[in-house]
Structure formats: structure tokens, C-alpha cells
């Protein structure tokens, strides 16, 4: 038994010694591997997400919120005072230019027109009588003149045949009838003028009476009614705002989008510039153009009044709706560009810094000159070439000269970027 116990203890001691030798060998092996050159296993090289510097059409747009306004909007007043006899429209009625909106009851004008017609008829009769009087006077003068001429001719040939008194009487009658002709012609002229006055007075009152039929001055929509049947409308002939209008008419088939343009953008805006109008309520975009602007900057807001006309033939848009106008401020076709996250900004305007992966797979730091900058990309004017790989991501993870394994960066395609 003692021999067996001694043999077991010897075997256990040998096993422990063998385990210690194995651990020492492993530690030595690890030390030798650590003290050697770095591993060249590709799986242990740091990866870097990169993009190629490519050419793109860059557009820098300015988005300004505004609201639609009618192309023109007026309050329709009555030209003459009267009661609304009949109303032909209501809220929201679409009317064409010249359509009858309402008719007024103006009895005093009707009586005035009858009086003017009677005065015109009387003046025409007076004119006819004056014409007859002129013809009578001219006939009497013709007889008197012939009588005087005959007597005077006889007196010239046979002086002792006709008394001088008869010749003098005939001459006086001729002159008297000539004066009556002149008086009759003057009366005719007065009667003609009286007829013209009566005719003008009738035309004036008929014109005023025509205003009792209120018509639409342009094609539009009735957006508000101020008066109904039976209401008294005062004559809107003064600048006073107390007069009650009949209705409000808006031209909505063509809308104005008034944009308060910032002062910094004013030099870049011209008539005819395309504008993209986005209406959130309809989830729709419309194409428009700049058609007019005030030409001066408001001193209070430092903005310029700019208008875009938006056709609305189907009346899909309603005045008062909010819209967002996207105004192209800068446009650079075929610009060398990289994603904006690949270019670190510098304290100097127009300068930046990028990390480029060269052909040897090493990081190079480049200083670049930048140009047009959009929400997603930035133009590179100098510092890199087209097709070079640029690190798109956190530049603080890499050091110049570090070897990396480039992989294509998964960047979202920016909406609206060309």
C-alpha cells in the first residue's frame, strides 16, 4: 500500500510540472508575437466609409412662407342710392364679367326720366316751330325784296311813273323782313340748343338709372354679401368708407403669392425667375414665375415686395392658404461636389478640410476651397480631383497616414438635389 501511495504522488507531481512548462511556453510564444511587426490581416484594418468626388448640378434654394391673395378684390358699391329690388347672387357665386348682380328700385329716377322725355319732346316741337318761322320769314323777305327791286327798277327807267314814297316803303319792308329772317334763325338756334340740353339731361338720367342694375366688373367669386333684398344702398360716390357696399368680389382664377424677399437675395431676383410653390394643405407643388416686384427694400422689414402669379383655373387654391415658395438663389451646373458631412468647416469663409483615401489606402488630409453649398452637398473649387475617395463621416476617428479599408458610404439621396 505504501508503494502504491508513493507512485501516485510521483505521478501528480510530474503532471503539475508539465502544466507549468506548457504555460511558460505559451507566454513566451505570445511575447514573441507581440514584439514583432503588426499583423497584416485585412480583417484587422480599420474601415472607412468613403464617397467619390463627382460632378453634380447644385441648386441652393431659399424657402419662404407666404399666403395666397386674390389677383384683385373689390367691394362693389351702388352708383345711385336705392333699395335692393332683387339679388341674383349669393355667397360663393361664380360670376362672369358683365353679369347682373342686383337691381335697385329708384322711383325718383324713373319720374325724372319721364320729365326729361317730356322736356325733350317740347323742345323738339319748339325746334320744329322755329324752323317753320324761319321759312315764313324767308318767304316774306323774298316777296318784299322782289317788290322793292321791281319798283326800284321802274324808277330807274321811268322816274315819273312811280312815286319815291312807294319805293321807300318797299325798301323798308325789305329790310324789316330781312331782320325777321335773322330773328327767326336766332330763335331756331336757341330751340336747337334747348333740344340738345333736354337730350343731354335725359341721357344723364338714363345713365344714372342704368346704375340701378349692378353688374360684375370682372370675372370672380362673391366672397361676401353686405346687403340683401330690401336693404337701402347709399350712393358710393364719395371717399367715405361708411357707405354700405353690396358685396365683395374676388378674382380667384389667378392668384398672387406675395413674398417678402430678404435684402440679401434681392440682387439675384429678376422678372421671369422660376419659382416652385408648395402647398401643404393640398400636398401639391405648383410652378410659378416672378412677375413683378416693388423695386425697393422696405426700411422696416428689410424685405422687398415680390409677387408670383399662380394660375388657378379649377379653383383648387383658395385665397388665404399658406404656401412655401422655393426660390433658387444659387445654381451651379456640373460642379465638383462632395457630401456636406465629408467637408469640415474652417474658420476662414470659403475654406474647408477633407480626408482623402489615396491609392495606397492611407488617409490624407487636404485643405479645400468651397463654393456653392446646399443642404446636402458642397462645391469643391480646389484641393481634390474628380473621382478621388473622400471620407464621409466622423473625421476624428482617423489620423493622417493611417491605413484604412475604404467601403462605399450609404448616403440617402437628398430630395430635390440634382
pLDDT in tens, 322-381: 999 888 777 788 889 999 888 888 878 888 989 998 988 888 989 999 988 887 888 899
Q: How would residue 273 be classed by pLDDT, with cut points 50, 70 and 90? A: confident
**pLDDT for 148 beyond 60:** yes
Q: From start to end of 340-401, where are the E strands?
A: 344-345, 351-357, 363-373, 377-382, 389-391
pTM value is 0.59
407 phi, psi to nearest 5 deg: -130, 150
Q: What's the Cα-to-Cα distance from 253 to each of 70, 263, 308, rounded to whole Å? A: 8, 31, 14
262 phi, psi to nearest 5 deg: -60, 155
**Percentage with pLDDT > 70 across the chain:** 86
To the nearest whole number, what is the mean pLDDT of the chain?
83
Element (H, E) at 14: helix 2-35
**pLDDT for 35 beyond 60:** no
Q: Which pLDDT belongs to residue 199? A: 93
For the structural domain made of 108-210, what CATH number should be given?
A: 1.10.287.620
Angle at 305 between CA 301 and CA 311, to 5 degrees: 140
Q: What is the pLDDT of residues 66-122, one digit of tens each?
A: 999 999 999 999 989 999 999 999 999 999 999 999 999 998 888 999 999 999 999
Q: Which pLDDT belongs to residue 11? A: 52
* CA–CA separation, 365 and 395 (whole Å): 10
Top pLDDT among 3 and 329 is at 329
Q: What is the mean pLDDT of residues 180-187?
A: 90
* CA–CA separation, 104 and 269 (whole Å): 49
CATH H superfamily, domain 253-331: Efflux pump adaptor protein, beta barrel domain (2.40.30.170)
Torsion on CA atoms 28, 30, 33, 35, rounded to nearest 10 = -70
**pLDDT for 182 beyond 80:** yes
**pLDDT for 238 beyond 80:** no
Q: How would residue 250 be classed by pLDDT, with cut points 50, 70 and 90? A: very high
Q: How would residue 44 be classed by pLDDT, with cut points 50, 70 and 90? A: low
**Percentage with pLDDT > 90 across the chain:** 36
Closest CA to 250 of 281, 224, 211: 224
**What are the structural domain ranges in the chain?**
48-57+332-408, 78-106+212-245, 108-210, 253-331
Q: Which pLDDT belongs to residue 186? A: 92
CATH 1.10.150.130 matches 48-57+332-408: no
Top pLDDT among 155 and 35 is at 155
**pLDDT for 32 beyond 50:** no
Q: What is the mean pLDDT of residues 47-63?
A: 86
Could you give the 3-state DSSP secondary structure of residue 191? helix
**pLDDT for 295 beyond 60:** yes
Q: 78-106+212-245 belongs to which CATH class?
A: mainly beta
State the DSSP code for 362. B
Q: What is the pLDDT of residues 205-214, one digit of tens each?
A: 999 899 999 9
State the DSSP code for 118. H
Q: Which pLDDT belongs to residue 98? A: 94
Residues in the chain: 418
The shares of helix, strand and coil residues in the chain, as percent rounded to the nearest 5, are: 35, 35, 30
Q: What is the mean pLDDT of residues 211-232?
A: 94
Amino acid at each position: 500500500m505504501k508503494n502504491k501511495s508513493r507512485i501516485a504522488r510521483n505521478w501528480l507531481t510530474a503532471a503539475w510540472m508539465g502544466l507549468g512548462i506548457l504555460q511558460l511556453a505559451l507566454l513566451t510564444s505570445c511575447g514573441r508575437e507581440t514584439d514583432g511587426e503588426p499583423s497584416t490581416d485585412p480583417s484587422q484594418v480599420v474601415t472607412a466609409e468613403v464617397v467619390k468626388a463627382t460632378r453634380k448640378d447644385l441648386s441652393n434654394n431659399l424657402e419662404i412662407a407666404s399666403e395666397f391673395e386674390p389677383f384683385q378684390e373689390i367691394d362693389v358699391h351702388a352708383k345711385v342710392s336705392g333699395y335692393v329690388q332683387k339679388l341674383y347672387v349669393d355667397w360663393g357665386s361664380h360670376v362672369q364679367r358683365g353679369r347682373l348682380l342686383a337691381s335697385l328700385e329708384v322711383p325718383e329716377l324713373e319720374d325724372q326720366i319721364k320729365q326729361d322725355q317730356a322736356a325733350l319732346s317740347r323742345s323738339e316741337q319748339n325746334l320744329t316751330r322755329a324752323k317753320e318761322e324761319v321759312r315764313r320769314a324767308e318767304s316774306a323777305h323774298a316777296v318784299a325784296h322782289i317788290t322793292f327791286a321791281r319798283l326800284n327798277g321802274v324808277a330807274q327807267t321811268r322816274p315819273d311813273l312811280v312815286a319815291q314814297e312807294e319805293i321807300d316803303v318797299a325798301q323798308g319792308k325789305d329790310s324789316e323782313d330781312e331782320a325777321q329772317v335773322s330773328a327767326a334763325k336766332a330763335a331756331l338756334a336757341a330751340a336747337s340748343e334747348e333740344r340738345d340740353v333736354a337730350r343731354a339731361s335725359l341721357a344723364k338720367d338714363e345713365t344714372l338709372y342704368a346704375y340701378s342694375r349692378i353688374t360684375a366688373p370682372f370675372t370672380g367669386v362673391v366672397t361676401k354679401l353686405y346687403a340683401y333684398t330690401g336693404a337701402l344702398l347709399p350712393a358710393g360716390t364719395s371717399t367715405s368708407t361708411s357707405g354700405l357696399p353690396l358685396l365683395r368680389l374676388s378674382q380667384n382664377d389667378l392668384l398672387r403669392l406675395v413674398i417678402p424677399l430678404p435684402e440679401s437675395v434681392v440682387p439675384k431676383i429678376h422678372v421671369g425667375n422660376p419659382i416652385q410653390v408648395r402647398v401643404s394643405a393640398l400636398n401639391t407643388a405648383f410652378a410659378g414665375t416672378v412677375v413683378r416686384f416693388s423695386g425697393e427694400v422696405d426700411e422696416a422689414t428689410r424685405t422687398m415686395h415680390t409677387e408670383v402669379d399662380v394660375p388657378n383655373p379649377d379653383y383648387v387654391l383658395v385665397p388665404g392658404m399658406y404656401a412655401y415658395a422655393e426660390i433658387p438663389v444659387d445654381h451651379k451646373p456640373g460642379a465638383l461636389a462632395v457630401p456636406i458631412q465629408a467637408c469640415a468647416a474652417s474658420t476662414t469663409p470659403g475654406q474647408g478640410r477633407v480626408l482623402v483615401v489615396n491609392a495606397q489606402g492611407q488617409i490624407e488630409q487636404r485643405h479645400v476651397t468651397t463654393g456653392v453649398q446646399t443642404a446636402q452637398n458642397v462645391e469643391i473649387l480646389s484641393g481634390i480631383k474628380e473621382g478621388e475617395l473622400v471620407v464621409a463621416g466622423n473625421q476624428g476617428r482617423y489620423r493622417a497616414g493611417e491605413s484604412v479599408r475604404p467601403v462605399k458610404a450609404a448616403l440617402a439621396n437628398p430630395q430635390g438635389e440634382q
